[in-house]
Amino acid sequence: MEVQVKLMGILRDKTPPGGKLQLPPGATVADLLQQLQVPSSQVMLVTVNGQHQRDHSARLSPGDEVTVLPPVGGG
């Protein structure tokens, strides 16, 4: 199945070509992060179709739009 992926900030360089990623049916948010080689320590927020997704074991559906934001530092 194909999902749309948006990686923000320091993760942007891991965005797949065209922002689209092929995953096996039944793949989860954690599977997506693993395939993109994004460690959980670099993830502050994940949204699926604009809704905050705290559960990384949540299954994705074809056509879902996943956005991943890293922790933000500042001072």
Report the CATH number that the domain containing residue 22 is assigned in CATH.
Answer: 3.10.20.30
Residue 75, in any domain of the structure? no
Question: Rounded CA gap, 43 and 11, in Å?
Answer: 9
Q: What is the mean pLDDT of residues 7-31?
A: 96
CA distance 18 to 41: 25
> What mean pLDDT is predicted for residues 27-34?
98
Does residue 74 lie in a domain region? no
pLDDT at 68: 98
Q: What's the mean pLDDT in 26-36?
A: 97
Q: For position 74, what pLDDT does the model report?
A: 61
* Cα 26 versus chain centre, distance: 15
Domain enclosing residue 45, as ranges: 2-69
